[in-house]
Structure formats: C-alpha cells, structure tokens
Amino acid sequence: MQDFVFCLGVSAPFPTLSPPYRPQEKEIKSLIAEIENLKNPVILDYSLGLGEMLEENTKLKYRLNVLKRSLQEEEGKVGSSMININQRLQNIFSAAIKLAYPHFESPPLAVTPSQHARFGDYQCNSAMAMSQQLKAKGEKINPVEIAKQIINSIPKNDIIEKVDIAGPGFINVHLNKEFVSKLLTDLLVNGVQPPLVGPKRKVVVDFSSPNIAKEMHVGHLRSTIIGDSMCRLFEFVGYDVLRLNHVGDWGTQFGMLIAHLQDKFPDYLFVSPPIGDLQAFYKESKKRFDEEEAFKKRAYECVVQLQSHNPEIIKAWNLICDVSRKEFQKIYDCLDIKLIERGESYYQDMMVDVVKLFEEKGMTQLDEGRKIVFPPGCSLPLTIEKSDGGYTYDTSDLAALRQRIFDEKADMIIYVVDNGQSVHFQTIFAAAQMIGWYDPEKIRVEHAGFGVVLGEDKKKFKTRSGETVRLIDLLNEGLKRSMEKLLAKERDKVLTPDELKAAKEAVAFGCIKYADLSHNRTNDYIFSFDKMLDDRGNTAAYLLYAFTRIRSITRLANIDDVTLQKAARETTILLNHDKEWKLGKCILRFPEIINKILDDLYLHSLCDYLFELATTFTEFYDNCYCVEKDRQTGDVIKVNMWRMLLCDATAAVMAKSFAILGIKPVQKM
C-alpha cells in the first residue's frame, strides 16, 4: 500500500482565490477527498484490485493537476488585485476541514484577526463549533483533537508561518513575514487596488431624492452622503454604477405651483420668471390652495393638463424644476456629488403597464374603487391605482424597479432611503418577486436604511424657531466653524490664501461627511459641530491632520516620489519590530474591510478601520525612527527606507479610504 503515499499531492501549494469560489476550487477539494479515501485503509473499497486502485488513483491525480493548473491560470488573471488575507485563510482552513472531515456536512468556518499578539495574527475557531455539532449527533470528540486534525490537513501554502492550539481548541495562525512584506511591496508598486470581487456587475443606487419646489434640508443629508460613498465603493471595485436621483417632480402639488406661476408671471412663456425664493413661492401657492376655492379648482385642472402633456403647462413645470435643480446643484457641488436625475415623471408612461401586468396575473383586488395588491408576508397592501384612475407612489416605485431590472439589467439595486420607508420597500420588493420580476438569489435588491439626524438635545435637528434646518445653511455654518478652527491654530500664518480656503473646505465638508459615515447608518446620530471639528478621537479633523503629517515625513526627509518608487521596487520591507509588524498587518486589512462593506453596506467599518490605521501608525512612528537627524544641526544623517515605505503605504491606503468616503484631504493644513 506504500504506492499510495506519494500520489496524494496535497503537499503541493493549494491555489486559492477570494470569493466567489471558482468551480475548479470546489472540484479540487472533492478530488483531494477522493484521493484521501483511496489512501485510507479504513475506508478503502477492497472490492477493487490493486491495479484498479492504482489506475483510479492516477486518474484522480491527473484530474486534480489539470484543475490546479486551470485555477493557477485563472489566478494569474488577478493581476494587481489586493489579497484579502482573511479570505485566503478561510479558503485554506475550508480545504483543511474538508480533508480532515470529508463527511462533515456544512462545517462551520470562523477565521478572525487575533485580538492579542500572543495569540498570533489570526485565529480559526471552527473546532469548538464542530465539536458541539458532533456532540448533538451523539459523537463526543474533544475540540482540541478536532483542531489537531485540521492542522494536520492544512495544505502547503505561502501565507502561514506556523499554527498552534490554545485553550479549548483555538487555532492560532502566525503569518509568514516574507509573504506580508511582499504584499506591502505589491501595494506600493501597483497602488491601492481593489480585492477580487467576481464578475463585473451593473449597480443602480437610488439616493438623495429631494422634492422639486422644496429646499434640501438636513433630512436629505444622510441619503446624499451615504449614497455617494456607496457609489464610490462600487466604482472602486470596478462595477458599472448608475447614480440615480429619484426626485419628487410629479404630482398634485405641481397643479397649485403652475397655477400660481400663471397668475404671478403671466408672460412666463416668453420671459423667464425671476423666482428667487422657491420655498416662499411654494408657501404662497399652498396658502392660496388652502384658502381659495377657485384657485384650488384651477390647480386641479393644471394637474390634468400636466398629465396630458399640454405644451404650455409642461413649460411651466420645467421652469419650476429648473429653479430647484440650480439650488440642488449648489449642494451637490459643495459635497462633490455626481447624480443623474430621473424623477417620478420619468416613469409616468410605464405605470399603465405595471397595473396591466398585475391585473393580467390576477393579483389585484378592488377596495372601494382602488386597485390594491397584497404581496405575501406583508401586513399592508400596495395601492397601484386610485379610485379616480390616478397612480400613487407605490405605482411609481414599482415602475422604477421594473425599469431598473429589465431595461438597465441591474445586478444590484440599492435604495438609500430613511428607515421610515422600510415597510414600504419590503412590500414593493415582495410584490416584484411575487409577479416574477426578479429572483433575490440572482439580483440583489436592498433598502439601505438609515436613522434620523438629531440635535444635541437628542430631538429631531431643527432651528431655534422649530423649523427644519436648510442644508445650505448647515454647510455654510460648517465653513464658518472650520475657518474659526484653522485661525485658532494660526494656520493663516503658514498657509497661502488659496491653501487656507482649500483647508477650510476640506475640514468643513470632510467633517460633516465623516460624522455621518462613522456611525452605524441604521442608528440615529447627534449632529454636533463641536464634536466633528475636534481633532482628537475618531473624527475627520483628526484623520486629516494625521494624514497631512504622514505625507510631510518624506518631504522633511527630502525624499521625492521618484526615489520612493525606486525604493518600493528595490527595498525589502523589514517587519522585525513589533510596531512595524502591527502596522504592516493593519495596512493589509484594507481589502478585507472592502469585501465586508460590499456584503453588508455598512460604511462605518471603513471609518473604524481608518481610525485604527491612523492610531497604529502613531504607535509605529513613536517607536521606530524613520529619519534620524543630527541633534545639533538638524541635518538628516540616516533614512530607514523600509520604514519610509511603511509611511507611504499607510498614506496610500488612507488616501484611498478618504476617496471612498468622499473626503478630500489637502497637502497642507
């Protein structure tokens, strides 16, 4: 039976890729298990003769090598993608568990970064969970024994230096320093690249969505900031992203606005009306609508003419929309937001088909003249046609979803809308699935909800007079507070006027964005300029200052970009000091964070990571000399280039993180 020992081939490097798993990987694991069965005398099929077993083993080994080569060729396509170390370890331990326990159905897989250096760099905690599952089936196996079997089955790889068992069965993983050093070099040479995320996807993100003829207020802040950052993340990993602004540009309110426009500016068809304050214009028309019966009747007539696409009424509607668009754009320019407007009006002609399709499927019910749809598992119905034949938000949202599925051919559709709309979207999605528009296993349709913005009194954020805070006023206040902060630090004495202006905007808008994104989006958060402009703790102010300081290290050492790039290619990054090692590992957790956010859409994870990276860098810089200077003259006498490269790698990852969050750092602050 010795002939079977050398045939296994598991000692060869086991190629692994980040998810989604390649079909080859799954088959490789299956083949390895088959070869293991042929090796193991306990489970050997003795009905086969020795020659037949040798032939079967040879065939399996051949298939295994063909698949490995195929997977290695595909892995070669990875190019400059950053490696998710956690996922790579999960792949390795998944293979090890399958080898050690081939008949264990759906074994639990848990690999996490270690919380303490004495427990290694990562931990695999699967053994305890496996022991519990086996115990439930009547098999008692000590988790330590399971851990030993897993360790003995780990395929040869270049990432793990050693493993050991701690406590009741924790497997401590110690990474190979040469492997980590090489990944850091790859990062510096190739730039900060996204991890592997599978095939390119078409993503539609619906966010911001203010109402025409109303000013954007603080309530629109979260959707705009969160939605933009999600788009930036999807764009970073190479997805085809459609950023949609589903503005409220249709409905009965336009009847009163158009009627008021006709009265106030009767020559609007020939002379552009000077509507300076659209909010005041809206209030005037609403007052007349509530108090003047004749005006109210004419407003309804204007709605009918609008829906009939009367040219003169359409022009009035466009004029009102254009005034709003200009005001919205001021906000978007400040926050550097890019959007394509597709309001409710875009889907008007599609609503007839929506109602018709539900009727043809026999899914509608009549309720006091209304046509309603009751999706399974939902407590409330959707009204897809009113008793007067008009359509509703439900009809509009169904039409929009259908268009995005069938016309845009989206693989992912994300709605960044407040938590108050969660039941509505659950019902819309359930109706779309009920009628067969999409399979949630194939198309990801998700409501990324968020909490409200609170004032420091923990009540809804409002002005002192009790009115909703206008977003433009909030941004202007941010600029004012930011400048005060910079002047208090006497930055006006070292920065040029242009540099000071750039710093003011970077701090103001960066702090507002980061304060939002650094909180779990599903929770409410307290808006406080004092907290967000504090340069201590997890704030954009602290991180922007930290980033500027890191960037200045190479400048103070008189090292230019060309020298750094040459060093990145030629210098080995040493990781012998504890703080070097800690920083190197932290830098390389970036792709892990990216993959996590792609799964759960919680951007605060990136903020937490960014803060951890900045504080880890501070520990490193306080303990490891990057540049050594003469104490008397201040002249540079020695540059530890591998540490300068760690500085550069930290800054590169911070810069990419800022870009995803929509924050613009500046060279000087």
Long-range CB pairs of 143-152, under 8 A, 24+ apart, other chains included: 143/168, 143/169, 144/168, 144/169, 146/100, 146/101, 147/171, 149/100, 149/101, 150/93, 150/96, 150/97, 150/100, 150/124, 150/126, 151/96, 152/100
DSSP 623-652: HS-SEEE-TTT--EEEE-HHHHHHHHHHHH
Q: How far apart are CA 205 and CA 38, in angstroms?
A: 52
By the 10 Å C-beta count (0-12 exposed, 13-18 middle, 19+ buried), 601 is classed as middle
Alpha helices in 557-589 (DSSP H): 561-570, 578-587
The pLDDT of residue 214 is: 87
Query: What residues contact residue 185 under an 8 Å CB cut-off, 6+ apart?
Result: 568, 569, 572, 573
For the chain, the first-to-last Cα distance in angstroms comes to: 72
Eight-state DSSP code of residue 370:
E
Q: Judge whether 222 and 450 are in contact, CB under 8 Å.
A: yes
DSSP 271-306: S------HHHHHHHHHHHHHH-HHHHHHHHHHHHHH
Q: Judge whether 112 and 125 are in contact, CB under 8 Å.
A: yes
Q: Judge whether 130 and 103 are in contact, CB under 8 Å.
A: no
Long-range CB pairs of 616-621, under 8 A, 24+ apart, other chains included: 616/582, 616/583, 616/586, 617/546, 617/550, 617/583, 617/647, 617/650, 618/546, 619/579, 619/582, 619/583, 620/579, 620/580, 620/582, 620/583, 620/646, 621/553, 621/647
Greatest pairwise CA separation for the chain in angstroms = 100
Q: How far apart are CA 265 and CA 259, in angstroms?
A: 10
- From residue 338, give the alpha-carbon distance in Å to each of 2, 74, 208, 237: 67, 35, 11, 18
The pLDDT of residue 10 is: 33
Angle between helices 590-600 and 221-236 (to 10 degrees): 120
In one letter, which amino acid is 628? E
Dihedral, CA of residue 404, residue 407, residue 410 and residue 414, to nearest 10 = -10
The low-confidence residues of the chain, meaning pLDDT below 50, are 1-23, 39-48, 67-77
Q: Judge whether 173 and 124 are in contact, CB under 8 Å.
A: yes
> What is the three-state SS of 585-610?
HHHCCHHHHHHHHHHHCCCHHHHHHH
Structure token digits, residue 354: 């929506």
**Extended strands (E) in 153-195:** 160-166, 170-175
The pLDDT of residue 137 is: 86
By the 10 Å C-beta count (0-12 exposed, 13-18 middle, 19+ buried), 19 is classed as middle
The pLDDT of residue 3 is: 33
The sheet with strand 444-447 has its strands ordered as: 340-341, 240-245, 202-206, 412-415, 444-447
**Extended strands (E) in 106-151:** 111-113, 122-124
Q: How far apart are CA 530 and CA 534, in angstroms?
A: 6
In one letter, which amino acid is 387? S
By the 10 Å C-beta count (0-12 exposed, 13-18 middle, 19+ buried), 634 is classed as exposed
With vertex at residue 469, the alpha carbon angle to CA 466 and CA 473, rounded to the nearest 5 degrees, is 135
Structure token digits, residue 365: 């019910």
Q: How far apart are CA 394 and CA 381, in angstroms?
A: 10
Q: Judge whether 412 and 448 are in contact, CB under 8 Å.
A: no
Q: How far apart are CA 134 and CA 169, in angstroms?
A: 15
The pLDDT of residue 20 is: 41
The pLDDT of residue 78 is: 53
Bridging pattern class, strands 170-175 and 202-206: unpaired
Structure token digits, residue 563: 């020298």
